[in-house]
Amino acid sequence: MTPAAPLRTRTLALGWRAWWLACLALLPWLGGCAGWAGTEPPRVHVVGLERISSEGFELRFNLKLRVQNPNSHAVSWEGIAIDLDVNGRPLASGVSADHGSVPGFGEAIVSLPVSVNAVAAVRQMLGLLDGTPRGDLPYAVRGRLGGGPMGGLRFRAEGTLRLPG
C-alpha cells in the first residue's frame, strides 16, 4: 500500500461526513409547509371581475380576490400569480408585483390584472352554447403569494360564479 492511499481514504471519509452534515442542516427547510412551517394556505375566493382596457385579440380584466388568513400570524407577500379556470377550462392568468399582508385570522381584498386570450374566450362561449342549461359556472383559481423563505405560499380554491338572469 502506498503512503497516498490512507490519505485518499481519509479525504473520502471526510467528504462523506461533510455531505451528511450538509443534508442534516438542510432537513428543516425541506419539511416546511409551502415555505412557512406550520402555515396553512390562505383561503381565496373570487369576488369581482371588472373590464379594463385591452389590446388586440386579448381581453383584460381586474380580478378581485378575497384572501382569508386561517393562521394566528400575519401572512405577507411580495407579488402574486394566478390561473383561473371556468367551467373546467382555462380562462385567464395574471401576475402582479404588488405586495401586501393579511393579519392573523383576517382577510383582505387583492386586485390584479388578468388576461384572457381570444382562443380561451371562444372555448368558453362554445362551452356555454352546448345546450346544457347553466345558472352557475364552477371556477377554480390556483396561485402563489410570493415571498418567504421557500418562495411563497401556494393556494387553490374552487367555487361558483352566478350568471345573471
Non-local (6+) Cβ contacts of 102 within 8 A are 42, 67, 68, 69, 74, 75, 108
Residue 73 has pLDDT above 60, yes or no: yes
Q: What is the pLDDT of residue 109?
A: 95
CA nearest to 39, candidates 157, 163, 145: 145
Do 54 and 25 belong together in one domain? no
Q: How many CB atoms are closer than 10 A to CB 25? A: 9
Residue 111 has pLDDT above 80, yes or no: yes
Do 25 and 50 belong together in one domain? no
Q: How many separate domains does the chain show?
A: 2
Residue 146 has pLDDT above 70, yes or no: yes
Q: What is the pLDDT of residue 35?
A: 42
Least confident range of 1-5, 40-44, 84-88, 91-95: 1-5
The highest-confidence range among 33-47, 69-83, 122-136, by mean pLDDT, is 69-83
Residue 90 has pLDDT above 80, yes or no: yes
pTM: 0.68
Percentage of residues in the chain having pLDDT higher than 70: 68
Do 70 and 9 belong together in one domain? no
The domain of 108 spans: 43-162
CA nearest to 147, candidates 28, 34, 64, 15: 34
Q: Does residue 74 lie within any of the structural domains?
A: yes
Name beta bridge partners: 43.
68
Do 57 and 126 belong together in one domain? yes
Do 48 and 26 belong together in one domain? no
Q: What is the pLDDT of residue 27?
A: 52
Mean pLDDT calculated for residue range 71-100: 91
CATH number at 97 reads 2.60.40.10
Least confident range of 73-82, 97-106, 153-162: 153-162
CA nearest to 73, candidates 29, 104, 117: 104
* Between residues 13 and 145, the one the model is more confident about: 145
